[in-house]
Amino acid sequence: MTPLQQQPERDTHSEDPTVPFALKVAGDWAWRLALVLIVGAMLIWLLGKISILVIPLMVATLFAALLRPAMMGLRKIGVPRGLSVAITEVGLLVLVVGGLFLVGRQMVSGIAELSKQAVTGLIQIQAWLTTGPLSLSNDQIENYLQDALDALQNNSSTIASKALGIGSGFGHFAAGLLLTLFILIFFLLEGERIWAFLVRFFPRRARPAIDGAGRRGWTSLGSYVRVQILVAAVDAVGIGAGAAIIQVPLALPLGVLVFVGSFIPVVGALVTGAVAVLLALVANGWVNALIMLAIVLAVQQLESHLLQPFIMGRAVSLHPVAVILAVAAGSSVSGILGALFAVPLLAVANSSIRYIAERAWERDPALAAEYGYVTAEIPASIASGGQGQGPGTTASTLTEQQQDPGRSPEEPGPIL
């Protein structure tokens, strides 16, 4: 029996014979899991205290993953790095501001007609309350309205405090937006140096694995963002065009709302679809609302049965159940923002953990060149010697350069 085949004997004398072995193993797992949960809860609490910094950082990372291919395309045709970053970010701002301007014009032109239709709908509701199965009199309706007004007046202080909270929220939003744009500039301009600097915080032997996992996670994040934009665009065009065809007012703003809401998987589609149906009901009646509901369901079926499995699934390799659970967990922890960031974080974690579990950095040619790997083909006679590797498997050894790469933060890094 070779030394590799010998199994270490378990020291039974140091164990309490009155404690079952299964209970001992369960106890070992329990305190480790409890420690992980405690540290995770403390980390979430700490990040919540500095959300004004964390949220712009995460949003800038998403935009960097989206805009980096465009910036690299400009670099390939000879545009200087700084100018390519400026063109990319200014182009994003122009696109967003232009879209908001068009939406604002549509809302201004359509809100007057929609208000008239809403008044007509309220009159019809009042008539149904008096002549329908409820048979309410005008005095009863007025009493109910007066009770509602009294309730608003009695809670005026609460409403005022909520309004002030909304005002401060807009202030935080403006500050976060400026911080996001500032971070995005440096992510696009010096992302390689930032990542190389972060990798050097890890032990030298762990740097290739961390570097490769970061590369793989960044690839998954970029794929997720681009595919999600495609899915959101399909939803927006389908629902917006359907609303325009059946003459639902504010079709363009509705399409923009669907586009933005689609970035929150599952929940965003349900909420924006409900808004579309409600808008059709208020504007054109229940028949038009049923048609709008059919359009929304058709678009969502197209997304769930074609786009999500064949495009999103291949891009991030996540099961729909995992997506739903991630959205539910994220929304319970951080509300809308948690639901927005849950899936991309899960996609990055999934690809990075799988990369490390498979020891894929040992077969990564980019890392081999950067960290000084020496790769060799294992002969069939050695590979079949019980080591669990077949013929043709590549093994990687590390040279002195990998033991101490000495890579400076100025050298190109993997992802940003």
**Residue 388's pLDDT is what?**
38
Single residue among 333, 358, 383 that ends a domain in this structure? 358
Both 315 and 196 in one domain: the answer is no
- DSSP-derived letter for residue 396 is E
pTM over cut 0.95:
no
H or E element, residue 225: helix 207-245
Both 212 and 121 in one domain: the answer is no
Both 113 and 239 in one domain: the answer is no
Single residue among 182, 201, 220 that ends a domain in this structure? 201
**Residue 243's pLDDT is what?**
86
Classify burial at 79, counting beta carbons within 10 Å of its beta carbon; exposed 0-12, middle 13-18, buried 19 or more.
middle
The list of the chain residues with pLDDT below 70 reads 1-16, 106-129, 131-141, 144, 146-147, 149-170, 265-267, 305, 308-310, 312-314, 372-416
> Per the domain annotation, does 98 fall within a domain?
yes
**Residue 389's pLDDT is what?**
40
> Per the domain annotation, does 163 fall within a domain?
no
Both 126 and 251 in one domain: the answer is no
Both 308 and 326 in one domain: the answer is yes
SS (H, E, C) 54-94: HHHHHHHHHHHHHHHHHHHHHHHCCCCHHHHHHHHHHHHHH
Distance CA 291, CA 275 (A): 14
Single residue among 201, 216, 248 that ends a domain in this structure? 201
> Per the domain annotation, does 210 fall within a domain?
yes
**Residue 33's pLDDT is what?**
92
Distance CA 65, CA 59 (A): 10
Both 97 and 227 in one domain: the answer is no
Among residues 327, 290, 295, 293, the alpha carbon closest in space to that of 308 is found at 327
pLDDT digits (tens, 9 = 90+) for 167-217: 556 677 788 888 888 999 999 888 888 988 898 898 888 888 898 899 889
151: Cβ–Cβ under 8 A, 6 or more apart, which residues?
none
**Residue 34's pLDDT is what?**
92
> Per the domain annotation, does 41 fall within a domain?
no
> Per the domain annotation, does 270 fall within a domain?
yes
Both 119 and 88 in one domain: the answer is yes
How far from 5 is each of 1, 387, 389, CA to CA, in Å? Answer: 6, 11, 17
**What domain count does the chain have?**
3
Distance CA 107, CA 280 (A): 15
Both 283 and 351 in one domain: the answer is yes
Distance CA 178, CA 83 (A): 20
Distance CA 302, CA 320 (A): 15
Computed over every residue of the chain, the mean pLDDT equals: 75
> Per the domain annotation, does 227 fall within a domain?
yes
Tokens of 411: 């050298």
H or E element, residue 398: strand 394-398
Both 180 and 209 in one domain: the answer is no
Both 85 and 192 in one domain: the answer is yes
Both 317 and 196 in one domain: the answer is no
> Per the domain annotation, does 154 fall within a domain?
no
Residue whose tokens read 């703003």:
253
pLDDT digits (tens, 9 = 90+) for 146-164: 667 666 666 656 655 555 5
| Exposure string over 292-321, b if 16+ CB within 10 A, otherwise e | bbebbeebbeebeeebbeebbeebbebeee
Domain residues for the domain of 394 are 367-416
User: What is the phi-psi region of residue 363: left when phi exceeds 0, alpha when psi lies from -120 to 50, beta otherwise?
Assistant: alpha
Both 217 and 181 in one domain: the answer is no
> Per the domain annotation, does 143 fall within a domain?
no
Contact between residue 196 and residue 413 where contact means Cβ atoms under 8 Å apart: yes
